[in-house]
């Protein structure tokens, strides 16, 4: 199964995968029903989760029902338990909207919810993150998760995120991060997809972020909270929800 999933991820463009998943998801969820692991987003349980990874496959990380990964489930728990995201009126901008969240957030009556991306079929506005078609100081909350590692000029992207966020607004900008690495590594000369996957972790990534990611956000003007949220969750639930222990949520404020 690992080899099959790895082939599918690397061979089929992401917009097509999104469309195909709507057909496959109910079938896979029914086959894997059980009680070993639980997806906190929809409360459904399974005997196992699916493997995932463009390079090295990780076991028990992809939820059969919501197609959430570790980072999505962690973000859901943080938003639910630590913020007023589900109750207070908010104008929200969501980059590269994840299937795990799209319908749920769209149906939240308290949210004025806009999605954006260059290619995603779930995007309301097709836009370049480095040149956004939005006015200054527009959004109470911006979700931009696992996007910046794809962007050659991530400084410009961060500046645009800062520009369109309201003063007092909040953002969550998750990225794949090597916390053992002090400084971010990038090399524009690496263009071969296989080499990129080997070095950066995915064929369309252009860097590996280190611990200096948080300081780069601060240099743009954001106040940054490095939220070690799995440390606030009972160890049994970290395992039950298939979370990545020690993953940091970058929570930013303007």
Kindly write down the DSSP assignment for every residue of 116-155, as one continuous string: EESS-TT-SEE-BTTB--S-SS-EEEEEE-S-GGG-S-HH
pLDDT digits (tens, 9 = 90+) for 145-172: 999 999 999 999 999 999 999 999 999 9
**Domain total of the chain:** 2
For the chain, the straight-line distance linking the first and the last C-alpha, in angstroms and rounded, comes to 44
Say if residues 229 and 80 touch (Cβ distance below 8 Å).
Answer: no
Residue 55 and residue 100 share a domain: no
- Looking at the structure, tell me whether residues 194 and 134 fall in a common domain: yes
Tens of pLDDT, residues 119-141: 888 999 999 999 999 999 999 99
Same domain, 53 and 125: no
Average pLDDT, the chain: 90
Q: Are residues 189 and 237 in the same domain?
A: yes
In this structure, the answer to whether residues 31 and 93 fall within a common structural domain is no
57 in the same domain as 119: no
Tell whether the model's pLDDT for residue 13 goes beyond 70. no
Range of the domain at 218: 71-253
Pair type for strands 165-172 and 139-144 = parallel
Same domain, 115 and 209: yes
- Residue-level pLDDT at 6: 52
Give the confidence band of 14 by pLDDT, cuts at 50, 70, 90: low
Residue at which a domain ends, from 48, 68, 88: 68
Whether 190 and 226 share a structural domain: yes
Note the Cα 137 to chain centre separation in Å.
23
- For residue 29, pLDDT beyond 70: no
pTM of the model: 0.88
Q: What is the pLDDT of residues 91-109, one digit of tens each?
A: 999 999 998 999 999 999 9
59, 91: one domain = no
Which of 42, 68, 94 terminates a domain? The answer is: 68
> Domain of 98: which CATH number?
3.40.50.150
Task: Determine the Cα–Cα distance for residues 185 and 167; give it in Å rounded to an integer.
Answer: 31
How far apart, in whole angstroms, are the C-alpha atoms of residue 191 and residue 77? 36
* Final residue before a domain boundary, out of 11, 33, 68: 68
């Amino acid at each position: 199964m690992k080899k099959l999933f790895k082939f599918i991820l690397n061979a089929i463009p992401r917009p097509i995968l999104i469309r195909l998943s709507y057909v496959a998801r109910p079938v896979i969820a029914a086959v894997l029903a059980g009680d070993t692991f639980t997806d906190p987003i929809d409360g459904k349980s399974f005997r196992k989760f699916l493997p995932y990874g463009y390079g090295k496959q990780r076991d028990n990380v992809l939820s059969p029902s919501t197609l959430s990964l570790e980072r999505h489930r962690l973000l859901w728990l943080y938003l639910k338990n630590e913020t007023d995201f589900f109750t207070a009126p908010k104008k929200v901008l969501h980059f590269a909207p994840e299937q795990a969240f799209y319908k749920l957030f769209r149906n939240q009556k308290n949210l004025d919810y806009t999605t954006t991306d260059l290619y995603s079929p779930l995007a309301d506005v097709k836009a370049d993150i480095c040149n956004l078609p939005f006015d200054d100081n527009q959004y109470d909350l911006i979700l931009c998760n696992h996007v910046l590692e794809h962007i050659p000029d991530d400084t410009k992207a961060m500046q645009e995120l800062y520009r369109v966020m309201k003063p007092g607004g909040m953002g969550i900008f998750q990225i794949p991060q090597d916390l053992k690495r002090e400084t971010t590594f990038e090399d524009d000369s690496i263009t071969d997809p296989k080499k990129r996957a080997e070095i950066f972790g995915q064929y369309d990534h252009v860097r590996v972020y280190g611990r200096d990611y948080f300081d780069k956000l601060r240099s743009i003007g954001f106040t940054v909270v490095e939220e070690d949220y799995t440390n606030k969750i009972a160890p049994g639930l970290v395992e039950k929800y298939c979370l990545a222990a020690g993953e940091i949520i970058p929570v930013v404020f303007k």
